[in-house]
Amino acid sequence: MTDTAAVPVTSRPTEERYATRTISYAGHEYTFSVYKGFASLVEFTPPGTDQPIEVYRQNGVFNCQDTGGPLPNSTLTITGGPLELDVELAIDDTPAKPGELGPIDTIEVGLKRRGTPVTPAPRVRPIRGGDQVSRILVRERPQNGKGGVKAFQTDGGGTVVVTNTATTCPPDC
Domain residue extents for the chain: 18-169
Please state the rounded mean pLDDT for residues 54-81.
93
Give yes or no for a contact between 39 and 166, defined as CB atoms under 8 angstroms apart: yes
Q: Is the pLDDT of residue 21 over 70?
A: yes
For residues 151 and 169, give the distance between their C-alpha atoms in angstroms, rounded to a whole number. 36
User: Which band of pLDDT confidence, cut at 50, 70 and 90, is reported for residue 163?
Assistant: confident
Q: Distance between terminal CA atoms of the chain? A: 41
CA–CA distances in Å: residue 30 to residues 24, 34, 40, 75: 6, 13, 19, 16
Please state the rounded mean pLDDT for residues 84-112.
91
Angle at 124 between CA 106 and CA 74, to 5 degrees: 85
For residues 30 and 87, give the distance between their C-alpha atoms in angstroms, rounded to a whole number. 11
Reading across the β-sheet that carries 104-111, which strands appear in turn?
Answer: 53-57, 41-45, 158-163, 104-111, 133-140, 148-150
User: Which band of pLDDT confidence, cut at 50, 70 and 90, is reported for residue 145?
Assistant: very low
